[in-house]
Amino acid sequence: MKKKIYPTEVLEVEVMGLDSQGMGVVEYWHPPLKEGCPRKKLKLTIPQALPGDVVRVTVPNAKGRRRVTVSYDEIVKASKDRIGFPPTDVPIAGGIPLLYMSYAAQLDYKERLIQSFLEEKGFDSGKVRPVLGMDDPYHYRNKMELTFGKEGAIGMHQAGNFRCVIDLKDSPLAPQEVITVKETVSEWQKDHQLPSYDKESNTGLLRHLMVRKSHGTGEIMVAIFATEEAKVYLEETRQLVDQLQEKLSGLASVVWLKNTDIADRTQSQESEVLFGRDYIHDQLHGYQYRLWFDTFFQPNPLQAEKMVDLVLEMGQIEKNMRVLDLFCGVGTFSLPLADRCQELAGIEIVPTSIESAKRNALENGLENTYFISRDARKGMAELEETWGHPDLLLLDPPRSGAGGKVMRRIGRLGCQKVIYVSCNPKTLADDLVWLREFGYELQVVQPVDQFPHTLHVESVVLMSRAD
């Protein structure tokens, strides 16, 4: 028996909130079909709609659905927090759903988001300070990864359509140097008729373009990910290097990275330096770091400086202290901490990051560090036996959080203070519950807006033992 298909309806609704993808959320109650019948609820998710927007939407089979994602036909009344409207003649790139929300409203939204997750777990949301925003929340990223698409497009994937690549003309996130590189590479690709990679047919040459710009030194890295080796295109790559040198005074590295894996990621089986070195230097909080194409480094250096300041402030580091940096990466927090304490140990599961951390410490004249590549939980157990007991523990886990096993191990370690640097308020709240069971109390949560115009927000959190 076929389900009944109901008529298409045009609805005028007010957006009440945002979902985890940044789409506007509406709960609409249909009038009863007849007296005495229950009302049906329809949940709408609406791309590019902000809380407070009143929009008109067309919904096929409206009464036959419980939920639907639908674009709005018209904004009848704009939200008080709206500062602009998305273009109607070009597709919208994903990743920046808050672009047309005022920056003050973005910060308020992120603060309330963190408060709500903490409240759900029984924590005092009054411990959350106002979000530290940026004076200029544009063009802040020091690294951009672009995709080679069809018909010469190089840019970001369309929101909700991973197969479509939107040609990058300008960007609210990227510095001008990224646009210059993209335009130079685009012209070079057209001049030499080099095909973009097509994932569906697994054919083509050019896959991704990555650009890194050092905030501290001004050095620029350009990385081309392709399905063949550079030696097949010696003349073409020589001309590309010449063109990039003409346009970029800070060019320090051009690398060609072969990637034949079907996965759509910026990874490499082989690499070749076309110009300069295979890394660039960057500086953060007065310390110098080497960055390769696959090095994870804080993408917003101005806000990362604030985060380092917060860690040092909350830690109240003294020269006789021993500090453990968990998920230490290449030493973003390790180096400033080591410069102020007696001894620092860092644990990171990625071997290349640990090698970078060791090198960065030595190049900055720090000889009181000890870095090991281990799983976090096993690394802590090993260090407790061979290195000793830390006075302060810092952890900066991935978005998935540290997890119960790691947090319980931290609790048993019994440091007086734990500083948690989080990029996900949900997993932050989940992890803090475990520390609470070991007698830790929430002291302060300082959100930092590392990623304006996105849904992401960082937090620096201090927990200390009640005793």
Question: Annotated binding residue at 119?
Answer: no
For 86, list phi and psi in degrees, rounded to 5: -65, 150
Instruction: For residues 40 and 464, give the distance between their C-alpha atoms in angstroms, rounded to a whole number.
Output: 49
- Catalytic annotation present for 341: no
What residues are paired with 135 via a beta bridge?
A: none
Residue keyed to tokens 């940096």: 325
* 275 is an annotated ligand-binding site residue: no
Q: Contact at 8 Å (CB) between 110 and 128?
A: no
Is the distance from CB of 100 to CB of 414 less than 8 angstroms? no
Q: Which amino acid appears at position 434 of this protein?
A: W
- 342 marked as part of a ligand binding site: no
CA dihedral (357, 209, 140, 430) in degrees, to 10, reads -60
Of 328, 341, 415, 423, catalytic: 423
For the chain, the residue count is 467
Dihedral sign of CA atoms 401, 361, 300, 309 in order: positive
If DSSP codes are grouped into helix, strand and coil, which group holds residue 236? helix
Residue 339 phi, psi dihedral angles, 5° rounding:
-70, -15
Rounded distance between C-alpha atoms, residue 347 and residue 375, angstroms:
8
Which amino acid would we find at residue 454? T
Q: How many CA atoms lie within 13 A of 396 on its CB side?
A: 24
Here the tokens at position 444 are 């302060």
HEC string for 184-195:
HHHHHHHHHCCC
Tell how many helices (H) and how many strands (E) occur in the chain: 9, 23
| 351, 325 contact by CB (below 8 A) | no
Q: Which residues lie across from 253 on neighbouring strands?
A: 221, 276
CB 77 within 8 A of CB 66: no
Q: Which two tokens stand for residue 404?
A: 């119960």
Residue 355 exposed, middle or buried by CB count within 10 Å (0-12, 13-18, 19+): middle
Kindly give, in sequence order, each residue whose CB lies less than 8 Å from that of residue 201, ignoring residues fewer than 6 positions away: none
Q: Where is 103: in which H helix or E strand?
A: helix 103-120
Question: What's the token pair of residue 79?
Answer: 């939200």
Q: How far apart are CA 154 and CA 139, in angstroms?
A: 18
Q: Is 348 annotated as a binding residue?
A: yes
Q: How far is residue 111's CA from residue 428's CA, in Å, rounded to a whole number?
A: 14
Q: What is the DSSP letter of 261?
A: -
What are the binding residues for S-adenosyl-L-methionine? Answer: 298, 327, 348, 396
Active site residues: 423
